[in-house]
Structure 1
């Protein structure tokens, strides 16, 4: 079996993922509060509220506190002359090899949360799909984008 890739994404990815998950979980908590108010007004059974609070609390723990750290530990990538090797996943670990000859274009992208931590993601597009290496330092993302682009051009010239 092939050795895992050696490069990791930026450590600040954990913070960015926690903030993003916190925003989604906040919406869930608002729905939970709405259920509690509706239940209180209409005097329905309170088990709706109990279930909603338990689901919200469990979701908060898993998606805000537990998964971002595990996700960061599992995310790895490596760029070779002929391929890009990406490994990620929490329960199911996915290992992907993207041949350089199949790379059509490479982009960097950065939303407001990633920008706050000076991070960017690299997206690698092929004819079939798009692969992403998330949350690299801005400088590293730009260098990686340029390196993959150069290697993909060289492979096209060889064909």
Structure 2
């Protein structure tokens, strides 16, 4: 069996993922509060709101505090001359090999949260799908994008 990839994503990925999850959890808490308001205004039972609190608290703990750390530990990648090796997943670990000859183009992407931490993601597009290496330092993402692009271009010339 092949050894796992050696490169990790940036440590600040945990913070960025926590903020993203906290925003989603905030929306969930807003819906829970709205359930209580509607229950009060329409004389419904408060059990629905109580269930909403339980679900919101569980989701907040899982997605804000637990999963970002686990997700960061599992994310690894490595770029070889002939392929890109990506490994990710918490319960189900996915190991993907992307042949350089199949790479059509490579992009970097950066939203406001990643930009705040000076991070960027690298997207590798093939004819079938797009693979992403999330939350790399901006400089590392640019260098990786350029390196993959150069390796893919060499493979096309060899064909």
Corresponding residue of 2:147: 147
Q: CA deviation at 1:60?
A: 0.2
- Aligned counterparts of 1:104 and 1:98: Cα–Cα separation in 2: 11
Give the paired residue count.
159
Moved more, 32-41 or 76-85: 32-41
Q: In structure 2, the residue corresponding to 1:106 is in which secondary structure?
A: strand
- 1:43 positional shift: 2.2
Aligned position for 2:73: 73
Give the TM-score normalised by structure 1: 0.99
Shift of the alpha carbon at 1:45? Answer: 1.5
Where does structure 2 lack aligned partners over 5 or more consecutive residues?
A: none
How many Å apart are 1:66 and its aligned residue? 0.4
Q: TM-score, normalised by structure 2?
A: 0.99
User: Residues of 2 paired with 1:116 and 1:76: CA distance?
Assistant: 22
**Corresponding position of 2:24:** 24
Deviations 1:27-62 (A, max 9, x none): 100000000111122221221011100000000000
- Root-mean-square deviation over aligned CA pairs: 0.6
2:92 maps to 92
